[in-house]
Amino acid sequence: MAVGRPTGRPWSIALRDPRGGFAGAFVLRNRACSTSSTFGRPLRARPRVVGDIIDPRTGHAAACHAQVTVVARSAAAAEAISTALIVLGRGAVDSIAHRMKAEVCWIDDGGICATPRFGLRRIA
């Protein structure tokens, strides 16, 4: 968690790739970001291992295996959007990002997909 401004400059955020290493970096200025993921803390529901994000339509764990980082006007909006996208799936990224005036970076086993203004740049 980071709050405030690092001596008047924007935050430079390194985004971990849940498959290993870093997906890249992006700049955060006067906005908030949140990451939701089904890669992180699995729950054991015998005999399966499931994520901790529940699809309210079914009452079951979200089916996708992904990490979503959202940059939005507030931390509450970024958190709500990132969690909702895990439930809705990759196909909802563009429409939700446009409707909510947010930028999104989706990472799954198929690769990295970011909205045009997310600003993800490769890092060594």
pLDDT tens for 44-78 read 666 765 667 888 898 888 888 899 999 999 999 99
Rounded to an integer, what distance in angstroms lies between the CA atom of residue 56 and that of residue 75? 22
Model pLDDT, residue 50: 62
**Residue type for 18, please?**
P
Element of type H or E holding 59: none
Does the pLDDT of residue 21 top 60, yes or no? yes
Model pLDDT, residue 55: 87
pTM, entire model: 0.86
Higher pLDDT, 56 or 89: 89
Higher pLDDT, 39 or 96: 96
Rounded to an integer, what distance in angstroms lies between the CA atom of residue 12 and that of residue 10? 6
Q: How confident is the model at residue 13 (pLDDT cuts 50, 70, 90)?
A: very high
Lowest mean pLDDT among 21-25, 49-53, 83-87: 49-53
Closest CA to 72 of 40, 105, 24: 105
